[in-house]
Chain A
């Protein structure tokens, strides 16, 4: 996203290239265009653009992508700190 970048080098996103079958679904669903298909394999071209929404991991048919998904929302995280970790990962806005 032009002009709007968040804190770098924190995203929990990982890609297991050996598992990847090159279906390109991750390339399609990522709203920040983190993935590209190169030589029939997905590669992360902008890992710092990741907002950890989890769309790629949920849609990967071979479980090659891992990310700790959630909503980047301060009040949600405060609530979770106060009430313990058992709140669902996404219930913010």
Chain B
């Protein structure tokens, strides 16, 4: 069939605006194929010189004002791969989209405006939850960081939302004066200030994007459940890979160092001893990491104690019998390794406070003032015992 079918469909839309549907044209089938068979489909008609068409865009609203990209509400393979990489911490800093005004469905003058961050993972969650609705999405420039962290860093802020409302000409796109801001963005945004400065009323939406549809259908009333933050097993699990990645990048050099210090012996230095004992002390350090960064976060509610450092220390110490059985060492060496993994686990568990949605800075500071000296002491004692062990026979 000759490729005469037009990929463009002009449609009267929201007071004279025109929408272009991104239907890909097929090239006219050639009479004779010279090399490599029939040509692939033509370039997407939404492409423009100098710009990259994002795969999540399905169409544009075009009129005298700036274009508005209408986005898909289903995630595709590349979105899932991107999300996976971001979770692992690999492309996290660059996983962002251009800030500005987007839409789902066919938004018009009366459609609600959902505000979000320009971290693509966040944006993907939001657009997926808006399937079947006509909404505007106002994406703030949070430097590619999620809403809550960005609110803490003051990039999801009163300034930014006021600027973005003006810059996108939102007041010309909608006839109401209301923006729905995620509740967890509230620590960065002063609702009364926003109203004073640009006339838009901030309505706080639910904590999670999953509840957006129910919130909109319920006349913008959130239930107590929608307003309460959670920290479920799954939510804790999602945070772990990135912790390992970021921390591993910082401290990998410790491991070769452990092999070297394990080699000091009465014969000055023994590479063989360094290798054998290096494996032991590295395993202990690694085990401390696994306890503090993996097991404590996962089992958080079930490990006794309020302070994270205590949870980390208790969990690590509880594994001592297993360690003694497996390693089968002298008393001094065993004590050294237990001190090493207990202090590491305690410290890394304490570090996890930064990833939770319920630890107060006052609490963390109180906990640290007690725990840090103990962790430092235990680690130092462990290392000294480990160094001394080849010279004494205890």
Contacts and interface: CB of A to CB of B under 8 A. Distances in A.
Interface residues of A, number: 44
Nearest to A26: B186
Contact of A8 (B306, B356, B361): B306
A61 B133 CA distance: 33
Contacts of A77: 361, 364-365, 368
Contacts of B228: 1, 31-33
Interface in A41-82: 49-55, 58-59, 61, 68-78
B188 interface: yes
Nearest to B300: A4
A71 B236 CA distance: 17
A84 interface: no
Interface string A3-26: 111111011100000000000010
Contacts of B307: 7
Contact of B187 (A1, A54, A88): A54
B289 to A, nearest CB: 15
B178 interface: no
Given A6-B306, A88-B153, A58 B189 contact: yes
Given A7-B366, A31-B229, A59-B190, A71 B358 contact: no
Contact of B149 (A51, A54, A93): A93
Contacts of A58: 186-190
Interface in B315-366: 350-351, 353-366
A93 B231 CA distance: 16
A53 B364 contact: no
B204 A10 contact: no
A48 to B, nearest CB: 9
B306 A5 contact: yes
B358 A4 contact: yes
B262 interface: no
Interface string B172-199: 0000000000011011111110000000
Given A1-B231, A31-B357, A33-B227, A10 B186 contact: no
Interface string B350-394: 110111111111111111100010000000000000000000000
A29 interface: yes
A76 B364 CA distance: 10
A6 B363 contact: yes
A38 interface: no
Given A59-B186, A59-B191, A74-B354, A31 B362 contact: no
A30 B308 CA distance: 23
A51 B152 CA distance: 12
Given A7-B360, A72-B364, A73-B359, 13 more contacts: A3-B301, A12-B362, A28-B227, A32-B229, A51-B360, A52-B361, A54-B187, A55-B183, A59-B186, A68-B361, A72-B356, A74-B354, A93-B355
Interface of B: 149, 151-154, 183-184, 186-192, 204, 207, 222, 224, 227-231, 300-301, 306-308, 350-351, 353-368, 372
Please name the 6 residue pairs, one residue from A and one from B, whose CB atoms are nearest each other, closest first: A73-B354, A90-B152, A72-B359, A55-B186, A3-B301, A29-B186
7 contacts: A4-B356, A6-B306, A7-B306, A31-B183, A31-B207, A72-B356, A93-B355
